[in-house]
Amino acid sequence: MPVYAIIGGTGLTQLEGLTLDESITMDTPYGAPSAAIVKGHYAGREVLFLARHGHPHRIPPHQVNYRANIWALKQAGAEAVLAVNAVGGIHAAMESGHLCVPHQIVDYTSGRAHTFFEGDLEVVTHVDFSYPYDEPLRQRLITALQQQGYSYSSHGVYACTQGPRLETAAEIVRLERDGCDIVGMTGMPEAALAREQDLAYACLALVVNPAAGKVTGIITMAQIEQALHNGMGKVKQVLAAVLAD
């Protein structure tokens, strides 16, 4: 079975039954990762954890060192990545608290270091990214969601925006017209970099707010934080089911 790495918030290291073994601090050719990699065991399986935004949570989406994070996880022994992302809901089904396992992604970011294949290369390299998420890993997440009985969507198109600001209502109209179902700020270039490193990668997205213009009034951080607090328990249960499989 693969060695799983989980990328998300620091609270994910608190899975019931997880034994923490060590904290790995490393540098990479691309600089320092967001935080130390936490190594542990769950149900007899080695697990790696990385806090995408640092510990404490202090690195905004557009300044995350995605290359260092993916490189470090690969060097630490990761073979597959389970990425947890907080997102806004565009499609009507994507209400706060809903879980989605996206099957596609559209990248609207700019200026992020997005590839390992640059500089003094021996040969130009292109990776196929037609289907950005690993299908067997997606199915493991879907099976775990079915087992837990949570409200979820087995497909969805993730729109990745630059941040750190939230989107305008007009931008959400555009994203919806483009076929996007959820919107977040951390899905890319993380997914593409994992593909370049031959890491199976799938996303478990937790909807924490309706996207701009989908409800009256403004979106507040207090609402998002409350939705994160309410939904993280479900996320942990799903991840635990995948790790125990």
pLDDT digits (tens, 9 = 90+) for 160-177: 999 999 999 999 999 999
At residue 11, the pLDDT reads 61
55 annotated ligand-binding residue? no
Domain ranges of the chain: 4-116+128-244
Q: What is the pLDDT of residues 127-146, one digit of tens each?
A: 999 999 999 999 999 999 99
At residue 14, the pLDDT reads 67
Q: What is the pLDDT of residues 32-50, one digit of tens each?
A: 999 999 999 888 889 999 9
Backbone torsion region of residue 15, taken as left when φ is above 0, otherwise alpha when ψ lies between -120 and 50, otherwise beta: beta
Distance CA 130, CA 68 (A): 24
- For residue 238, give the nearest of 153, 141, 136, 113 by alpha carbon: 141
212 annotated ligand-binding residue? no
138 annotated ligand-binding residue? no
The CATH number, out of the four listed (2.20.28.10, 3.40.50.1580, 3.40.50.2300, 3.30.1490.20), of the domain defined by the range 4-116+128-244 = 3.40.50.1580
Mean pLDDT calculated for residue range 202-224: 90
At residue 216, the pLDDT reads 82
114 annotated ligand-binding residue? no
At residue 117, the pLDDT reads 83
Q: CA separation (Å) from 96 to 130, 159, 170, 187, 205?
A: 29, 17, 21, 19, 11
At residue 122, the pLDDT reads 77
Mean pLDDT calculated for residue range 203-232: 88
52 annotated ligand-binding residue? yes
53 annotated ligand-binding residue? yes
**The pTM is what?**
0.94
At residue 10, the pLDDT reads 58
186 annotated ligand-binding residue? yes
211 annotated ligand-binding residue? yes
At residue 90, the pLDDT reads 98
